[in-house]
Structure 1
Amino acid sequence: MPDVGTSGAPSTARRRVLAPLALAQFICSFAGSNMNVMINDISEDLDTTVQGVQVAITVFLLVMAALMIPGGKLTDRYGRKRCFLAGLAVYGVGALLTAAAPGLGVLILGNSILEGVGTALLIPPVYILATLLFTDMTSRARAFGAIMALGGIGAAAGPLIGGLITSWISWRAAFVFQAVVIAVIIFLSRHLEDPLPPDPTRPFDTVGAVLSAAGLVLVVMGILAADNNLWLMIGLLVLGALTLLWFFRHIRGRQAAGKEPLLSTSLFRNRTSNLGMITQNVQWLLLMGSSFTVAAYLQVVRGYNAVQTGVIFTAATLGLLASSLAAERLAKRRAQRTLITTGFALAIVGIVILIAMVNSFASAWAFAPGLLLLGLGLGVMLTPSVNVVQSSFPEARQGEISGLSRSVSNLGSSLGTAVAGTILVAGLSTGAYAAAMIVLAATGLIGLAAAVSLPRNEAKADAAGAQL
């Protein structure tokens, strides 16, 4: 296999390696957002309630967030490509089972359990392989740019694509579409090679995996319960925090005893990586939170259907695509810290415009400038943010940091939806919309502060991370 990390590498080889990885991120992001426009159709077809379908969506988030760290760790033992293909197969079976679901139970099994498990298995290898196969900063920026561009497009355009398929054919066809894309990815993956051999003798920290999964499940459940019961939310968040504290004590003790933990505590001593993960969490919080808030407002208050709402979101999709695909050129000219900081600034300005426009103009197209800026900002910073985290550690630790990084991002997605939902549940109105967006803008300032705090000398920061 040609060295795709070298500047002189054939462009065909680059595309062959990158295509399945980027498409995998696309379909997983698509699955996380497209189902929102199918709730009424699914509930009527399966003779269930809207709340029942929402449970399926919630369980998907729980499974994905809980298993992402163990999924990343398993790549060291069984190999990156093998876990990638296994995740695709499980996901594909889940999509087909969902498409044929006769009732809510089978829907939850296919969509929530199997697709959630498949996502947790296949996503960490996407970022590990991109890091290992694209070895220099420029080519890696191009790889992450393509991956994050398709991931952002999948999340932003998911409601439009899902709405079109549901309107033209049926909601079941949307899951057949996912299975077809999975089959294409498996076919394209024949060109992938794992740069590191698997180590079947490598130990796996089962207790740590259970504790981390339980802690993340409780935290996500608490976040998702925020719009139903304040005391339940607090209770679940406290239990989740205590479980995660138990997890940290466990891995510290296991490490002190000379045994390999699920995650090394030294991962959390890398300042650059920690700040990068904060920016990742806030980025996905802004993306999913703003998408949910604007979409709900347009549909419920303005009366737009799923397709009309999706068309409005084209502005965000175009902005994200344009800036993500420019990641390679931007990486050559600007430091990653600068790009992340600029991205947050653009995103926050976009949110402010979205707040101002709703009170000034009746046309839904007034949302386009703010969504365009939001998309541009997210596209500018998604790639360097991932690069900062992944590049802070050597090859041997990519399994650990990839799983942890993806869990942090998924928690951001869940938190964004929950924060927006908690505010909007008080009553969908212009005031509730503005309040939700103000909270998102304030959270964006936290991400901006983390970005500003990133080291200026990235070469030294990366070298320090590699020594840990």
Structure 2
Amino acid sequence: MCTLTVNMLLFFDQTSVAVALSALQREFGASATRLQWTITAYLLALSVLMVAAGRLADRFGRRRMLLAGLAVFGLASAACAAAPGLDFLIGARFAQGVGGAIMQPLALAATSRDVGARHRGWAVGLLSTGGTTFLTAGPLISGALLEVASWRWLFVMNLPVVVFAFHQGRRWLLPSREPDPRPVEAGALVLLSSGLATLVVGVAQFTDWGWAALVPVLAGVLLLGLLVRYELRSPHPLVPVALMVRNRALVASLVALFAIQFAVLGNAVYLVLFLQHGLGESAFTAGLVLALAGIFTPLLSLTTGTLTDRHGPWKLVVGGLVLATAGLCWLGMLAPRAGLLALVPGLLAFSLSRPAVFTPASTGAFTTTPVERRGLASGLVTEARQLGGLFGVAVCGAVFIAVHGTDLTEPARLAGGFEAAMLLASAVTAVAALAVTAVLRKGR
């Protein structure tokens, strides 16, 4: 129950805040660039620190680290609820991401370890279904709450859930740690965190800083290049680059998962802004529409898993990416000109594409991975999704703002910004479909 609650909490907080962006803009008078940092900061912390969480848990104990992550997440949620200004809120959201980065990989590990082999598949499926259900329901719950209460209650809601999960964890989780834990590569962690942070800052601030933003972008690329070189020589790599180089099925999975999550969060944030500021819809309507974009993920994940077992993952993955491209193109080209109802066909196509990619691609990552390396592969799968979401918000945001500017009061320009962001997301999924096909053909 503890790990299920943790997973639902983390997925809920990834999408629920998107619906509150308009309320934050009204209260703090913030530009679109600063608003996106309330989501980007959370995803940045998740992406940077998650890769080290497993190593720290091996050393200090999984139960202890999971409870510590819950405590950090709960305190950060309280800080978000009490935030006196937007900068404070962004900092508190980063702290939430730190807690989430500790918890997310350990929830799956604890479930796999503490549940017997006979029921392990069912338990992992329940964990996944609970998370994706709350990823979908988050905007709907958030929109309904914002109709009657302040955005601060989105974070207050977390507190009793955190207390419940903490109590369940102390009572039921078994203490465990590795007898001979691998060391945490401090050098790799510094290169990863500084490289991602500078790259994301440069991309997100491009419209404010202009060409000067290329300095942090290039610095980030250089630092990540140094990380690859460092990891190829390390006996205990934080990011197993060598595993990716030798395993084409794993590379194809990571490309697909990065692309679909890029589209999911890029769509979520800027669809909400377009609905509320461009079309004048309420927070509840925006949440309902956003929930529609994810409705098939919890409903069809088990079905696509069964199809993967029977026919293999790759036809589903490529087909899902093509369907995502079509749905996003529809949203970008038609919806800004035709209004709310025109969104429905594109959203349904995009919604159908998500379970066709997520489950088969996650499974495909392990098809040619040795059993003893599947823990590393699992970490890479999770990291690919986090990085996809992070860059989806940052890059789509840069394009959205470049077209419409930072002022959210001009509906016509907002429609143009939304169109550009969706067409960019569709280009990413289209390129991913081609890349997956090319990688797998080359590996035959």
Structures share a fold, TM > 0.5? yes
- CA shift, 1:346, in A, is 2.5
Query: Are the aligned partners of 2:232 and 2:242 in contact in 1 as well (CA < 8 Å)?
Result: no
Q: Is 1:274 equivalent to 2:247 in the alignment?
A: no
Q: Is 1:36 equivalent to 2:18 in the alignment?
A: yes
- CA shift, 1:284, in A, is 0.4
Q: Is 1:221 equivalent to 2:201 in the alignment?
A: yes
> Does the residue aligned with 1:367 lie in a helix, a strand or coil?
helix
Q: Is 1:316 equivalent to 2:296 in the alignment?
A: no
Equivalent runs, 1:345-384 vs 2, <5 Å: 345-355=322-332, 357-358=334-335, 361-362=338-339, 364-384=340-360
Identical counterparts, % of pairs:
27
> Does the residue aligned with 2:392 lie in a helix, a strand or coil?
helix
Q: Is 1:73 equivalent to 2:55 in the alignment?
A: yes
Identify the residue that residue 172 of structure 1 maps to in structure 2.
152
Identify the residue that residue 418 of structure 2 maps to in structure 1.
433
Q: In 2, distance between residues paired with 1:451 and 1:36?
A: 30
Identify the residue that residue 66 of structure 2 maps to in structure 1.
84
Q: Is 1:284 equivalent to 2:261 in the alignment?
A: yes
Q: Is 1:118 equivalent to 2:121 in the alignment?
A: no
Query: Are the aligned partners of 1:145 and 1:324 in contact in 2 as well (CA < 8 Å)?
Result: no
What is the total number of aligned residue pairs between the two structures?
Answer: 431
C-alpha deviations, 1:104-148, integer Å up to 9, x for none?
5653443322x1111111122244456667899x975x6665545
Equivalent runs, 1:123-202 vs 2, <5 Å: 123-129=104-110, 140=121, 146-189=126-169, 190-193=171-174, 197-199=177-179, 201-202=181-182
Q: In 2, distance between residues paired with 1:382 and 1:271?
A: 17
Q: In 2, distance between residues paired with 1:407 and 1:60?
A: 14
Q: In 1, distance between residues paired with 2:5 and 2:307?
A: 23
Equivalent runs, 1:257-268 vs 2, <5 Å: 260-268=236-244
- CA shift, 1:431, in A, is 4.1
C-alpha deviations, 1:359-388, integer Å up to 9, x for none?
6744x1331222122112102221222233
Q: In 2, distance between residues paired with 1:185 and 1:235?
A: 43
Identify the residue that residue 60 of structure 1 maps to in structure 2.
42
Q: In 2, distance between residues paired with 1:147 and 1:341?
A: 26
Identify the residue that residue 207 of structure 1 maps to in structure 2.
187
Q: In 1, distance between residues paired with 2:77 and 2:47?
A: 19
- CA shift, 1:287, in A, is 0.6
Equivalent runs, 1:330-345 vs 2, <5 Å: 330-345=307-322
Structure 1-normalised TM-score?
Answer: 0.80
Query: Are the aligned partners of 1:276 and 1:450 in contact in 2 as well (CA < 8 Å)?
Result: no
Query: Are the aligned partners of 1:132 and 1:395 in contact in 2 as well (CA < 8 Å)?
Result: no
Identify the residue that residue 389 of structure 2 maps to in structure 1.
413
C-alpha deviations, 1:311-335, integer Å up to 9, x for none?
2223223222222243443344331
- CA shift, 1:286, in A, is 1.1
Identify the residue that residue 82 of structure 2 maps to in structure 1.
100
Structure 2-normalised TM-score?
Answer: 0.83
Q: In 2, distance between residues paired with 1:361 and 1:44?
A: 27
Which 5+ residue runs of structure 2 have no aligned equivalent? Answer: 405-412
Query: Are the aligned partners of 1:71 and 1:403 in contact in 2 as well (CA < 8 Å)?
Result: no
Identify the residue that residue 408 of structure 2 maps to in structure 1.
none
Change over 3 Å in CA distance of 1:431–1:306 after alignment to 2: same
Structure 1 counterpart of 2:297, one-letter code = L
- CA shift, 1:89, in A, is 2.3
- CA shift, 1:75, in A, is 3.2
- CA shift, 1:283, in A, is 0.9
Q: Is 1:244 equivalent to 2:224 in the alignment?
A: yes
Change over 3 Å in CA distance of 1:145–1:369 after alignment to 2: farther
Q: In 2, distance between residues paired with 1:58 and 1:354?
A: 23
Which 5+ residue runs of structure 1 have no aligned equivalent? Answer: 1-18, 462-468
Identify the residue that residue 5 of structure 1 maps to in structure 2.
none
Change over 3 Å in CA distance of 1:22–1:451 after alignment to 2: farther
Q: In 2, distance between residues paired with 1:397 and 1:331?
A: 21
C-alpha deviations, 1:88-117, integer Å up to 9, x for none?
22212211232234455653443322x111
Q: In 1, distance between residues paired with 2:366 and 2:158?
A: 28
Structure 2 counterpart of 1:123, one-letter code = Q
Query: Are the aligned partners of 1:156 and 1:291 in contact in 2 as well (CA < 8 Å)?
Result: no
Query: Are the aligned partners of 2:48 and 2:192 in contact in 1 as well (CA < 8 Å)?
Result: yes
> Does the residue aligned with 1:303 lie in a helix, a strand or coil?
coil
Identify the residue that residue 410 of structure 2 maps to in structure 1.
none
Structure 1 counterpart of 2:74, one-letter code = G
> Does the residue aligned with 1:262 lie in a helix, a strand or coil?
coil
> Does the residue aligned with 2:159 lie in a helix, a strand or coil?
helix
Q: In 1, distance between residues paired with 2:79 and 2:327?
A: 40
Query: Are the aligned partners of 1:216 and 1:240 in contact in 2 as well (CA < 8 Å)?
Result: yes
Change over 3 Å in CA distance of 1:318–1:253 after alignment to 2: closer
Change over 3 Å in CA distance of 1:390–1:361 after alignment to 2: same
Q: In 1, distance between residues paired with 2:52 and 2:415?
A: 42
- CA shift, 1:285, in A, is 0.7
- CA shift, 1:246, in A, is 1.9
Change over 3 Å in CA distance of 1:430–1:123 after alignment to 2: same
Change over 3 Å in CA distance of 1:98–1:345 after alignment to 2: same
Identify the residue that residue 389 of structure 1 maps to in structure 2.
365
Which deviates more, 333-342 or 143-152? Answer: 143-152
Which deviates more, 150-159 or 169-178? Answer: 150-159
Structure 1 counterpart of 2:102, one-letter code = L
